[in-house]
Every structure is written in C-alpha cells, then in structure tokens.
Amino acid sequence: MRRTCVGWLLLALLVLPLGGCQLKDIDKRFFVVSAGFDQTDDPEKPYRVTLRLALTSSKVEAGTAHAQVETVDAASIAEAVRHLKSNVDKELEFGHCREFVFGRGMLEKQGFQDAMQWLARRRDIQGVSNIMVGDPDAASILHTKPISERYPGNALFLTFGNEGTEASDTVTEYMFDLYRREYETGLDPILPVARSSQHAYQINRVALLDKNKIRLILNPEETQVFNMTANDIRKAVMAMPSEKGRIVMAVTRLRSWITMVGGTDPKVVLHVRATGFLEQSPPRVLEADWHGLERRMGKRFSESTEQLLYKIRDQGVDPYGFGLHYLAIHRGRQKAWEHWKSIYPDIRFEVRTDVKIQGTGMVR
C-alpha cells in the first residue's frame, strides 16, 4: 500500500511541470497559400514580401475563392514576415504554403540565395513546394485572382501538379531540387516563369540560372524542347511543315539519355527516343513514305535541339547536368571539374533522335 502511494505521488510530481500544447484554434489562424519576394529601390529596406492569405469559406466551387493579400518592405525577409503579423488579426501559418514566387527583378540583380536561406531554415515550409519566377514581379502574380479557382492557391497547385493540366511547356521546380541545384557541382538551377494574364496565369517559359541569377529565359517553343529532352515530358508534340500541310505528331512515350564520346576533348551526345501518332497531317502521308517521314521528323527535332544546346552553352549555364555527368566518369573531382570548365565553352553537341510513328490515330 505504501509503495502504491509513493508511486502515485511521484507520478503527480512528474505531471506538474507539463503544460498545455498552446496550439491556437483553426479560426485564429491565417493560412498562407503563396508568398512572393521582390527587390525594392530602398537600400534600407531592400526586400518586399507579399503573402496571400486564405479566407475560409463553407462554399467550395469555382469563383468562390477569397484571399487577403498583404505586402510589407523590410531589411530582411525574416523581419518582413514578422512585421506582416501586425497587419492581421490571426497567427500566420505556413504549413499549407506550396507556392513561392521570386520576382524577376530580384533574380536579375540580387539573386535568390537570401530567399532560399530563409525558406530552407523554416521548419514549417515543405520541401515539395513549387518555386517560380514572377514576371515582371512576384506581387503581380499573388494579386491575380483566377475565375476558376475553387479555393485560394488551387490554380497554381493544379498547374504544376499532375492532378490538373499537363502542359509540355510548363516546367515544374520543387524547393528541394532548387536547393540541390544551387549547391551541386555541374548542375545549374531552373525556374518556370509565370505571368499574369487577365484572370489567369500564363506559365510557358523557363528561366535558366547560374548559381544565383538569371542568365537566359527560353521562349515557349524552346521550353517545350527543353522539357522533353531534360525531363522526359510526354504529352508533347513534334511538328514539321510539308508541301501539303503541317504535320503534327502527338508524343505518347519519350526517353532521353546522355553519353560522352572522346577522352580529354569529349563530345556530348543526347539520345532521344519518341513514339506517338499523327494528330494532324495531310491525307495519305504515311502511305507515301512512312519511314522517310520518321527520319525527317527526327532530323528536324535533332537540329532544333542542337541549336538550343549551343544557345544554353553560350550563356555559361548547365541545366542538363552535363558537368555532373562528366565528373561521374572521371577521377580526381577537383582536377576534372577545372578541366570541364575550361572545355565547356567549346563543347560539341550531337542529338540523335529516333522517331516511331504508330499511326494516324482514330479516323472516323
């Protein structure tokens, strides 16, 4: 009996120091669904942080998404977020924030390293969050209100995820991959570029960066080629003009890989294997020369891809990871890396495309 009383007494003493969880109720929180970072002209307050806060509603249908957008300038991103708390009456919650926008002006002048440091150190920010460039700035993207949005942030989330649209000229970049590309030797960062178009988003370009700043922005046609060859994106098209009309092949399967030919002076060979069906073509084009058409389409795609590779090389960036591939097959990492940097400005490319046309689809 005495031992039992002593046991209960010790248990009571252990419970006394324990406090409550101190969690705020859901109606006392503002859920941040997207955040934007821009650069100002004020040297004392160079950072402009914009947050889009979701306003909860019982209705979940197109056009009923309501959000509150707050903006503040500060000396650092962390201070800006702290100052923003004085503009709202609820606690800011970043656990559901999946969209982060870097202003184009900030990436061209200052870079994204300071913003990435803040994002990487916050324990409540997910590594699978989508990162993009806002053109001309991040604030304009966060102020856009798509008519089809069912709840705040839904439009951007569906754009970059497989649940919604799957566009061949939309590049998806996650925070964990951007962080890896920032520090990985031989692999440079990429970011999709978003523009506000009336009540919708236009995301059909990609920005190629060095380890910090923008060096090149590809147009929609170049972005599709990059997405196909670097990310093996299907549901794309290969188009070619002909005497009787334009020929368009819808790609259903795609695979690409890299090999290097040569020793001290290597040549990068990019292999592409694409399979699909003719979505649009003149009548009886396959009956005339099926295999010849496959060769011509492959040659045309190889030529356009080689032009893109040389354009990227001339800007001194490597989003494909050719340098990383070179380091993987050569000993002496530092020495090999120095040699790769010396030969990359003059590196030669060859693209070998194998196109297989399955047919003309369903003809009624």
Per-position DSSP letters for 135-174, written without gaps between them: ES-HHHHHT---TT-SSTTHHHHHHHSTTS---TT----B
Report if residue 9 sits inside a domain.
no
Q: Are residues 199 and 331 in the same domain?
A: no
pLDDT at 59: 60
Give the domain extent around 97. 26-215
Q: Are residues 105 and 246 in the same domain?
A: no
299-321 confidence digits (pLDDT tens): 999 999 999 999 999 999 999 99
Residue where a domain stops, chosen among 215, 242, 263: 215
The pLDDT value given to residue 364: 47
pLDDT for 57 equals 62
Task: Identify the bridge partners of residue 270 per DSSP, sorted by sequence position.
Answer: 258, 351
Instruction: Write down the mean pLDDT value for the chain.
Output: 86
Residue 4 resides in a domain: no
CATH at 281: 3.30.300.210
pLDDT < 70 regions, the chain: 1-3, 5-8, 10-27, 56-65, 162-164, 263-264, 361-364
355 neighbors 301 (Cβ within 8 angstroms)? yes
Same-domain status, 138 and 199: yes
Phi–psi pair at 89, nearest 5 degrees: -105, 10
Q: Which residues pair with 271 in a beta bridge?
A: 257, 352
Where among 215, 246, 273 does a domain terminate? 215
pLDDT in tens, 126-144: 888 999 999 999 999 998 8
Listed residues 215, 232, 261: the one ending a domain: 215
CA distances from 348 to 227, 267, 268, 345 (A): 21, 5, 6, 9
**How many structural domains are present in the chain?**
2
Residues 207 and 96 reside in one and the same domain: yes
